[in-house]
Structure formats: structure tokens, C-alpha cells
Structure 1
């Protein structure tokens, strides 16, 4: 989808009176969508799901990009306090039940946001995982919200070219071998033979946090 096509979609949603928002993990590859939104619809709120487990470098990068792009940032937190995020053995859930940890810290907070909006602009790409490969440009989400995936057919090379064209900054952890950056306890450096998202929840049969599996209407 071209930048003009993205703008046309957003204009149509606006003409129809739709309330829109986007989310971002503030990784390097996330910047293209944020930059486009900042140029065509800067009033659209950007939600950052702050799990409390992010790398400090990600938080600094978020603040840098928010100021540089002039974003309308909203920090989103879970309502479940950290001392209630433990398993029966007393260990924090990311060590024993990462699916439930993701549900409490990411999926559940964002599901509440969906109730206040009509369109969720989401930067997923087909080349990132099997789950995302099967997605469509527009898909229904809970509470009558529409998921809009304008970056779906972009690939890593196109992302790189756009970043170079507009001289967009890079997350500092990229240079240290991190390609897919999420919560610090569940992210590792990528090995040469690994795909991008295999560096997340390494060693587990898990490549998604639930935002793109649970928050899609079946």
C-alpha cells in the first residue's frame, strides 16, 4: 500500500466519522508507519503498551521519536499490579506462564482501548510471521473495531529504503544484534540462522503476544 493509498483510507475513515488510533512498540521498523501518520494525520493518538518490562533503551527511543515526530503519545498500563503477576511458585509470570503475562500486560489493557475507537491502525507485515502472513488489509476486531493493516505488504527492504530516504533514527539495540525488540526478559539477540521473531520468547513455541491472535474477531 502506497502512502497515498494509506492517506485515502484514513481520509475515508475520517469522513465516515470513525475514531482512529494506532499502537507502536517503537522498534526501528515501526518508525515508517509512525512517520507516515505524523505527516498525514498527526492528531491520531499513538498508544504505547508499557508493560513495565521494556528495555530502558526502548523508553528513551520512544521519547525521542515522540518529540521528533510530534506524536500524540498515550502510555498504556495494565491494571494488574506487579505483585499479583506471580505463579503458584511465587515467580513472576514471564518465567512460568508467558502467555498469561502477555495477556495481563498487553492484550487486556488494549482490549479496553478498543471499546473507545472504531479503527485500530496496526503496522503488522506479512513477512514477519505465519500468523501475520494470513492477515488482510482490513479485519474485524472485538467490540466492533476494524483492524487496518496499511504496512501488510511492505517488506524489510522497503522499510529500510524509506528509513534511509527520510533519515529516520535507529533503535540503539539494533547495533547490538537485536532485530525484534519486546520486553527485556523475553528478548534475546538474533543468531545468523534465526528469523526475526524467533528472538522473542526463545525456546518456546510462541511468536506472538496475543495482540494479533486474540484481538482478531473469528
Structure 2
């Protein structure tokens, strides 16, 4: 998040602005409190800290997801884990999700999808992604997640600074609108940290990683990455799109509404 003296992408609403400032103050305090902690300690403390509130883990079960899933399972296997099935995922991802959830003993696995009526109205022939990727992500991913997160005060993500320009200043804690925060325990991890952790704990890789997919989303909008490219270069290739919409872009809040 940018400093509060820089404008956030929010409506001119004094009440909303006040809530955002309150959230920012909470996040600043949490980052200060845990700035010298490692990932496991951040997870453990966040799950216990009343300032963080009730938390869920949102996971794509993608290329590196197993690291955070394993860390959280070690701390507390009862932590709710939310997986968004956009119904356009690779078959390999669906199989991998089932296998990892069983292997780690995740006790509160929640698989969510957009309502059939919403898909029928917004993307009846399954081609929305060819015309408007933002609208497709909003329909199949962002809106279902917002519903699933109702009742939670925040959520864990597996984002890391090395993943691209939009993530290079990530902190452990950040604002996610006026009512929730995000927790990024792996924010400061490097690629070699990820590989080492997976090797040391004998964690299975997503099968598509070996086929040149270092970042894995929906099948129609994800392609292999060439050597030397940014690891997210295969996501929405040929467009300016870099994020699906469930996260901040360039530190600004993504607007979610009927017009998006």
C-alpha cells in the first residue's frame, strides 16, 4: 500500500476513507510488530493476533502453492483453505489440489465456484475470456472469492516480491479494502528459498511446472514461459493484464462492482 498521503483508488466517501485509514494503521502496526519474524512465525502469530482477526488461506494450488499450504498445515491444519474452481482450470491443477489437500491433512477445505445462474447470464458459451479477460476473472474468480471471504477479517496469500513489478514492495501485511487485510508470509522469500523448502520437505511439484509453467492459472489464459522471461509472462500473454483482480494492482485497491 502507498503512504496515506497518496490517493487511493476509492470513491469520495469520508466514511470509507476513515475505515481505510483505520485498516492502514492496523496493518502498519502488524508489520512493525512482526517485521523481524520468519514465515512460520508470521502465520502462527497472525492466527493468534486479535488485530489480524479470523483468517483463511486462499490458494490456487499452483506452481508454488504447496509451500504456504504446508507451512499453514504445520501451524494449524484446521485453518480454512479456499480454492477457487473457475471451471477453466487445467485438469492437472484439479488433480493436484485433491492430492495435496489429502496429503497435508487439510481439515477445512472449501472449493468454491461461481453460481450456475451467474455463469449462464455472464458467460453462457464459455468464451468471455476471449473478449474480456477482466470480466471473465471478475465473474469466475473475484466475485466468488468475495462471497467466500465474508465473515473473515483477512486471508493468507502466497505472493512474493520476486514475482513481478506489481509485487516488488509487498509487506507481510497489507490492506484489502475497508474490512479485510491480507497476510503474505512468503513476501520476502527468494526462488531458491521456495525450491529448498520443497526439497527439504519432499513436497510434490505441480505437474505443469516441468512443462514450462512457473505460474499457473486458467488453461485458456496461461502459456509456457521461455527462459529469461518473467515467471508470470505466460499469464494473459499479449495483453497488459498482470493480475486476475483478487489482489491490489500497483498498490491500489481494485474496484469490484457491476461495472467491472
TM-score, normalization: structure 1? Answer: 0.90
Q: More displaced, 172-181 or 110-119?
A: 110-119
Q: Distance in 1 between matches of 2:42 and 2:194?
A: 15
* Displacement over 6 Å in runs of 4+: none
Q: Distance in 2 between matches of 1:149 and 1:78?
A: 25
Which residue in the other structure is 1:83 paired with? 120
Which residue in the other structure is 2:56 paired with? 21
Instruction: Output one character per residue of 1:68-104: Cα deviation in whole Å (capped at 9) or x when no partner.
Output: 00112101111254332349xx772100100110011
Q: Distance in 2 between matches of 1:138 and 1:17?
A: 9
User: Does 2:220 correspond to 1:198?
Assistant: no
1:124–1:149 CA contact under 8 A, matched in 2: yes
2:158–2:186 CA contact under 8 A, matched in 1: yes
Q: 1:114 to 1:142 in 2, by over 3 A?
A: farther
Instruction: Output one character per residue of 1:133-183: Cα deviation in whole Å (capped at 9) or x when no partner.
Output: 133221121351111111100111100000000000011111111111100
1:140–1:216 CA contact under 8 A, matched in 2: no
Gaps of 5+ in 2: 1-36, 255-260
Gaps of 5+ in 1: none
Q: Distance in 1 between matches of 2:96 and 2:209?
A: 12
CA RMSD of aligned residues (A): 2.2
C-alpha displacement of 1:207 = 1.3
2:46–2:52 CA contact under 8 A, matched in 1: no
Aligned partner (choices 131, 136, 144) of residue 166 of structure 2: 131
Instruction: Output one character per residue of 1:93-130: Cα deviation in whole Å (capped at 9) or x when no partner.
Output: 10010011001111111112332101211111011121
Which residue in the other structure is 1:33 paired with? 68
Q: In structure 1, the residue corresponding to 2:88 is in which secondary structure? A: coil
Q: Distance in 2 between matches of 1:45 and 1:128?
A: 25
Q: 1:109 to 1:91 in 2, by over 3 A?
A: closer
Q: 1:163 to 1:171 in 2, by over 3 A?
A: same
Aligned partner (choices 45, 57, 78) of residue 9 of structure 1: 45
1:19–1:118 CA contact under 8 A, matched in 2: yes
Q: More displaced, 114-123 or 163-172?
A: 114-123
Aligned residue pairs, count:
215
1:28–1:171 CA contact under 8 A, matched in 2: yes
The residue correspondences of 1:1-218 to structure 2 (distance < 5 A) are: 1-13=37-49, 18-71=53-106, 72-79=108-115, 80-86=117-123, 92-213=127-248, 217=253
C-alpha displacement of 1:3 = 4.1
Q: Distance in 2 between matches of 1:146 and 1:125?
A: 16
Q: 1:139 to 1:216 in 2, by over 3 A?
A: farther
